[in-house]
Amino acid sequence: MSDQYRTDHCFTGHDGGSGAAVDNDGKAAILDLDGTLLDSMGVWEQVDYEFLSRRGFVVPDDYMLTIAAMQFREIADYTIDRFGLRDSPEDLMREWSELAADSYAHDVPLKDGAYDYLCELKDSGAKLAVATTLSRDLREPALDNLGVRDLFDAVVDVDMAGAGKKEPAIYHLAADLLGVEAADCTVFEDILVAIESAKSIGMRAWAMYDSSSEDDWPAICAVADGTLKDFTTAPRQL
């Protein structure tokens, strides 16, 4: 992120400052993975480049943002239609997973401050859930490698919910599994449609800056309850 970008778009996160004990009993945090909890979007930039290069295409500027909230199968169908590919959806999904697998299992890091933040929320009584578009075969090795899998009370994905993040089904599902009302849930996301979706059912939504969503950042700032560049200043009180 450039210095000019930092100057023109202020982040609103705060750390609670006083060090006083925080009580989040009956509250929940629902966190996206790619681009929010995980600093992983560079992996998909490389996957898209490699995949499309093999077929003689360059990656269109709008491609990553267009597919960001979709289900994995939906992305495959969209990609086949957009580029006129002869591959089956299953072929595409298998190739993408193979290209990304090693990076997720060994290399993808957490966003700064994420581990400590998750631990603080657990200690404060909050329930934690993952709500992701990322498939099980990629997310589980990543969560295991980073040592955070056991911190979550529930992990849901768009396939389990039956809809992409343009619809709030995934957030309803996460809240139901946690046993927490929507109004007591805070969602952390990096894309506009997901933030709008969570807020449409009465959840709070904090936006994590990721370069993949930079074009939407002004709109994200306008709708989100708060904005972050990492988890060091994430809200301690949900």
b/e per residue 17-27 (b: at least 16 CB within 10 A): eeeeebebeeb
Domain limits, the chain? 3-9+20-40+110-233, 41-106
Domain 3-9+20-40+110-233: homologous superfamily in CATH: HAD superfamily/HAD-like (3.40.50.1000)
Q: Average the pLDDT over 134-162 and give the result.
A: 96
**What is the percentage of the chain residues whose pLDDT exceeds 90?**
82
pLDDT-derived band at 21 (thresholds 50, 70, 90) equals confident
Residue 17 has a pLDDT of 45
pLDDT of residue 36 exceeding 70: yes
CA dihedral sign, ordered 24, 25, 30, 35 = positive
The CA distance from 129 to 30, in Å, is 5
- The larger pLDDT score, comparing residue 4 to residue 226, is at 226
Report the CATH number of the 41-106 domain: 1.10.150
| Total Cβ atoms within 10 A of residue 219 | 13
Q: What is the mean pLDDT of the chain?
A: 91
Which has more confidence, 212 or 11? 212
Which segment of 2-11, 58-67, 225-234 scores lowest on mean pLDDT? 2-11
